[in-house]
Amino acid sequence: MARALITGITGQDGQHLAEFLHGKGYEIFGVVKGQNNPRAQQIREEFPFVEVLSGDLTDLPSLVSCLETAQPTEVYNLGAISFVHFSWTQAELTANTTGLGVLRMLEAIRMVGGQQNNPIRFYQASSSEMFGKVREVPQSELTPFHPRSPYGCAKVFGHDITVNYRESYGLYACSGILFNHEGPRRGLEFVTRKISNAVARIKLGVQSDISLGNLDAKRDWGYAGDYVKAMWLMLQQNEPDDYVVATGETHSIEEFLELAFAEVGIADWHPYVKQDPRFFRPAEVDLLIGDPTKAREKLGWKPEVDFPGLVRMMVRHDLAVESAKLSK
């Protein structure tokens, strides 16, 4: 039976991936950090088929122990300090978790899986944030990196060390360079969910406005449920490789606002949106747009949810959640 070990199980992608792999009949092990992580209980309740293991990407012995217990055929390394803005506040923690954490997991795989014909397949959650100040448009697997944040720098290390371990030790290690992907499980700190949640609350009269930073930035936004399929497909190929996963479209924060407010019948969003210097970044990534040709041709992957569909899904979800809170 296929067995998957997932770091970052309490995050957006970890939950989508667990659901997806469960549908494929996998036995699933999820790594949860901390001595009493409140999100562990949520995982046990919502995903009873996941066996929760205690581990931390900053602690090599704990990763070895997780691998020994799970005996996985596939490891998905989704755990990270993933909020770009936060990475300036705790740059060392970000480098240690998001960067060195990848090296620790690769070493743990070498220790547990053996040096020759290591049977464990490894997926690394790389990021379009590595392209940063983009060198070409659109960005492909061949576009040089120019990270703009401590997070982006840490992801470049994680990406490069994954490629290096594949080339040095023959590990089946893949790196998915995923562009922004969102959905109802997105954390409230990220701009799309911050907006969809605020729009719902404004519609219901429990919030008056929303404060944001740079509204001009453009992102290639897809749906997280589509993107975890690409992760799995990468580990089912004959040879390990790296792939860009994106929609090939880009939209500004303003376009997201326009569609989100329109979804609740508000035609002009301007009176509800304030700009606050606290939400601007020391260095910005102005434009991301991916070229997913390789993923489409080699993996047969394509996104199912388009941009308006994504915004609609998130706003409708938050409207339902916030309405339910009010009726309690």
Site for ligand NAP in 120-159 (CB under 6 A): 125, 127
- Residue 194 lies near ligand GDD (rule: CB under 6 A): yes
Q: Select from 79, 240, 63, 55 the least CA-distant residue to 162.
A: 240
Q: Record the tokens describing residue 315, joined without a space.
A: 């706003």
Q: Cα 3 to chain center, whole Å? A: 21
Q: Which is nearer to ligand GDD, 112 or 195 (CB)?
A: 195
By CB under 6 A, the count of residues binding ligand NAP is 26
Q: Which residue is nearest to ligand NAP (CB)?
A: 11
User: Are 47 and 39 a contacting pair, CB within 8 Å?
Assistant: no
- Residue 260 lies near ligand NAP (rule: CB under 6 A): no
Q: Could you confirm whether 74 is annotated as catalytic?
A: no
Residue 255: phi, psi to the nearest 5?
-65, -35
Q: Could you confirm whether 129 is annotated as catalytic?
A: yes
- Residue 128 lies near ligand GDD (rule: CB under 6 A): yes
- Residue 43 lies near ligand GDD (rule: CB under 6 A): no
From the list ligand NAP, ligand GDD, none, partner contacted by residue 10 (C-beta under 5 to 8 A by kind): ligand NAP
Entry field: residues in the chain: 328
Site for ligand GDD in 77-106 (CB under 6 A): 82, 84-85
DSSP string for 87-106 = HHHTHHHHIIIIIIHHHHHH
Task: Select the span of 140-148, 163-171, 200-208, 277-285 touching ligand GDD (CB under 6 A).
Answer: 277-285
Residues within the interface to ligand NAP (CB under 6 A): 7-8, 10-14, 31, 33, 37, 39, 56-58, 78-82, 97, 125, 127, 178, 180-181, 187
